[in-house]
């Protein structure tokens, strides 16, 4: 295992030596680009609470974080290293790719453990003025067309988002990146620059489901999802005058397993909007509703403001709530989150993140973190 990781890192080092400029293959006049990039992000985190399950303290730290600890170091954003590039195939078609790996920067033996390096993104795409077809591990449309309306903290500040997306399973769970997917996208939903953006994503071959009512609970079996298409996402956004965008997303699991195994499916729809009042202030709204075949239906909304104070300072403040139909699922009475950030340069910044979540039974969590981040 150690040898394969060293080989992988040596490949990245080789790409760095080759440089980020255009390279020309032997016998070809067609140039292609290779860029080496990455992020180093480490935070000092303080947590107290009852364990609501909506705030995840100590993500990617050496030994987690609990209410009993004074504080811990966190690599929650996942420090990373990656390669990206492409090649113009014809006047209408360009090939692009990204290979991005999370790197555990807080574990001393990170060169020799199975968990020290893991895939964050890995895809290849063909695109042009007609849109882009992408295959591999990629950002979910639910995040680009949905969460981005109100959730832009780097690590913490997603309690209301997790409240609904936690019903999804496999790599769809919690709504960030999706494994084994094929997507078509026209335009971009990250800003207001494209009047119209559209995405359809098919998850391919994901999922195992547990056996129902096994004779021996300690020896319960599982079955692979036999459906080739294991999930569908459809998303769209329309923007007005580079100032106001409205968007919607629909997500559905598709499960086909033998009789006697859990064949329940989850569904989620998301509606949102973003309004850039001026270059200094943007407001966002997001609403999500999720349900599954077991009768668990819940929804949540968030409102957030994003503020650019100039001189490298920006901040965000958001609030959310959620409710559930099942009696044994607690309502989310309050979720408050935000950040204050200062950019020293276009590559280096420091920030303070905070989040508070409270359930209807009074259980709550509070978390604060200061962090330093550098891009290369």
Divide the 376 residues of the chain into consecutive groups of 10 and give the mean pLDDT of each group: 40 43 43 88 98 95 94 96 97 98 82 71 98 98 98 97 97 97 97 95 95 81 95 98 96 96 96 98 98 97 98 98 97 98 98 98 98 98
pLDDT of residue 30: 53
pLDDT of residue 8: 45
pLDDT of residue 113: 52
CATH for 235: 2.40.160.10
Does residue 161 contact residue 288 with C-beta atoms inside 8 Å? yes
pLDDT of residue 327: 94
**Burial zone of 25 (CB within 10 Å; 0-12 exposed, 13-18 middle, 19+ buried):** exposed
Helix H or strand E segment including 10? helix 2-18
pLDDT of residue 160: 98
Q: Give residues with Cβ within 8 angstroms of 155, minimum separation 6.
A: 43, 59, 74, 76, 77, 353, 369, 371
- Give the domain range for residue 75: 2-375
Does residue 82 contact residue 99 with C-beta atoms inside 8 Å? yes
Q: Which of 36, 125, 121 is nearest to 89 (CA)?
A: 125
Structural domains counted in the chain:
1
pLDDT of residue 218: 77
pLDDT of residue 215: 74
């Amino acid at each position: 295992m150690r040898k394969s990781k060293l080989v992988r890192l040596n490949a990245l080092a080789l790409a760095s030596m080759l440089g980020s400029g255009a390279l020309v293959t032997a016998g070809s006049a067609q140039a292609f680009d290779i860029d080496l990039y990455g992020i180093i992000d480490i935070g000092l985190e303080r947590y107290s609470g009852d364990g609501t399950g909506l705030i995840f303290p100590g993500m990617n730290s050496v030994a987690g974080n609990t209410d009993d600890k004074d504080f811990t170091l966190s690599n929650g954003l996942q420090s990373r290293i990656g390669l990206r590039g492409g090649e113009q195939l014809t006047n209408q078609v360009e090939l692009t790719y990204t290979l991005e790996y999370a790197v555990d920067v807080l574990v001393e033996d990170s060169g020799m453990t199975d968990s020290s390096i893991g895939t964050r993104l890995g895809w290849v795409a063909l695109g042009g003025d007609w849109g882009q077809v992408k295959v591999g591990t990629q950002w979910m449309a639910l995040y680009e067309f949905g969460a981005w309306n109100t959730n832009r903290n780097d690590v913490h500040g997603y309690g209301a988002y997790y409240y609904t997306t936690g019903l999804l399973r496999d790599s769809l769970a919690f709504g960030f990146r999706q494994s084994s997917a094929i997507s078509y996208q026209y335009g971009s939903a990250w800003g207001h620059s494209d009047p119209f953006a559209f995405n359809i994503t098919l998850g391919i071959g994901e999922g195992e489901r547990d056996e129902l009512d096994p004779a021996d609970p300690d020896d319960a079996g599982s079955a692979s999802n036999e459906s080739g298409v294991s999930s569908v996402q459809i998303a769209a956004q329309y923007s007005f005058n580079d100032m106001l965008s409205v968007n919607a997303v629909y997500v559905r699991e598709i499960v086909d397993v033998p009789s006697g195994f859990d064949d329940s499916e989850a569904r989620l729809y998301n509606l949102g909007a973003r309004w850039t009042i001026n270059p200094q202030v943007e407001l966002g709204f997001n609403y999500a509703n999720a349900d599954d075949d077991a009768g668990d239906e819940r929804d949540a909304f968030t409102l957030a403001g994003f503020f650019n104070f100039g001189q490298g300072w920006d901040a965000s403040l958001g609030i959310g709530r959620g409710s559930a139909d099942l009696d044994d699922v607690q309502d989310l009475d309050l979720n408050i989150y935000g950040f204050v950030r200062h950019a020293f340069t276009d590559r280096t910044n420091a920030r303070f993140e905070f989040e508070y979540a409270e359930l209807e039974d009074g259980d709550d969590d509070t978390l604060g973190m200061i962090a330093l981040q550098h891009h290369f």
